[in-house]
Amino acid sequence: MNPLIRCLSAAALLLAAPEALAGDPAPRPPNALLYETYAFSGTLNGQPTTVFAPALSGSVALSERVSLNAAWLFAYAPSRAGGPTAFQAGNPSVGLGGVLYDDGALKVRTGGNLVLPFTLITDPDDFGTALLRRAATLRGNSGFSLVSPGLLGLTPWADVTLRQGRWRFGLDGRVPMSAQLSEKRGQRVDAVFQGSGTASVDLTSHVLVGSTFQAIYVSTAAEGADPTFLALIPHVRVYGSAGFVEGRLVMNLDAPLGFAFSDNGLWAAALALGTTF
Cis peptide before 25 (omega within 30 of 0): yes
Is the per-residue pLDDT at 248 higher than 70? yes
Is the per-residue pLDDT at 119 higher than 80? yes
- Mean pLDDT lowest among 7-11, 112-116, 121-125, 187-191: 7-11
Is the per-residue pLDDT at 13 higher than 50? no
Contact yes or no for 128/86 (Cβ under 8 A): yes
The pLDDT tens digits of the residues spanning 51-63 come to 999 999 999 999 9
Nearest 5°: the CA angle 71, 178, 198 is 55
Percentage of residues in the chain having pLDDT higher than 70: 82
Average pLDDT over every residue of 261-267: 67
Average pLDDT over every residue of 99-106: 96
Instruction: Check if CATH label 1.10.3720.10 holds for domain 32-276.
Output: no
Confidence label for 29 from pLDDT (cuts 50, 70 and 90): low
- Mean pLDDT lowest among 19-33, 104-118, 163-177: 19-33
- Mean pLDDT lowest among 20-24, 167-171, 269-273: 20-24
The pLDDT tens digits of the residues spanning 33-79 come to 999 999 988 766 567 778 999 999 999 999 999 999 999 999 998 87
- Mean pLDDT lowest among 4-13, 19-28, 84-93, 205-214: 4-13
The pLDDT tens digits of the residues spanning 153-166 come to 999 999 999 999 99
Check residue 58 and give its pLDDT.
Answer: 98
Which positions ≥6 away from 261 have C-beta within 8 Å?
2
Average pLDDT over every residue of 15-40: 63
State how far the Cα of 105 lies from the Cα of 267, in Å rounded to an integer. 34
Check residue 44 and give its pLDDT.
Answer: 60
Long-range pairs, 47-51, Cβ under 8 A, ≥24: 47/81, 48/80, 48/81, 49/77, 49/80, 49/134, 50/77, 50/78, 50/80, 51/75, 51/76, 51/77, 51/131, 51/134, 51/135, 51/138
First to last CA, the chain: 45
